[in-house]
Amino acid sequence: MTGPSKAQQFAPHVAELHAQGLGRNAIARTLGCSAGTVTAAARHAGVVFDGRSTADATEVVRRSSEQRRADIVTAAADLADMAATKLLAALARDELEARELVRLFGVAADKFVKLAPEPDHDADQREEAKEALDELMSAIRGSVVDLGDVAAASVAPGASMVSVLGPDGGAA
């Protein structure tokens, strides 16, 4: 008779680590087994990896990256400001190192412009378009004709839709 499988042996540990918030790969690293073994053990333990912890971790990384990018943008802007100040002072004193400061200023300003978020100039136009589409949809919904009314009406040969539906679009 064989003993419990590896997955059965790991099941209580998987359940405990999952309850602590670890994901499948982190549990596998902690237990020193494969992710497949963790998946099988999770089935035995009734643990479901729904991807929520992965989505949460991805969101944390995304926010961290956005913050680092914002920090770099700020540093580039500060560097460009300092270089511009030194450049103007060096040019006023007619110093030779101004050429190097021009290069530094150009690189810093270029990086600032490339890294800074683009302003959303189209937001107002998008909002106006959305409002226009909402109004159009309301008008369409208000003018929908019950096809049963149309089918029930007797249409004489040569009759116009206005005579069938009436001048307001409802069945006459």
pLDDT of 9: 92
Residues 72 and 109 in one domain: yes
Q: Rounded distance, CA 168 to CA 172, Å?
A: 9
Domain coverage including residue 39 = 6-45
Residues 36 and 72 in one domain: no
Q: Is residue 36 part of a domain?
A: yes
Q: Is residue 126 part of a domain?
A: no
Residue 92 near residue 101, CB atoms below 8 Å = no
pLDDT of 164: 47
Q: Is residue 130 part of a domain?
A: no
Q: Is residue 136 part of a domain?
A: no
- Which residues, given as ranges, of the chain have pLDDT below 50? 150-153, 155, 161, 164, 172
Question: Number of folded domains in the chain?
Answer: 2
Residues 40 and 71 in one domain: no
Residues 34 and 70 in one domain: no
Q: Is residue 12 part of a domain?
A: yes
Q: Is residue 128 part of a domain?
A: no
Q: Is residue 94 part of a domain?
A: yes
pLDDT of 85: 82
Cβ-Cβ contacts under 8 Å for 83 (sequence gap 6 or more): 101, 104, 105, 108
Residue 52 near residue 80, CB atoms below 8 Å = no
Q: Rounded distance, CA 7 to CA 11, Å?
A: 6
Residues 70 and 41 in one domain: no
Q: Rounded distance, CA 16 to CA 28, Å?
A: 13
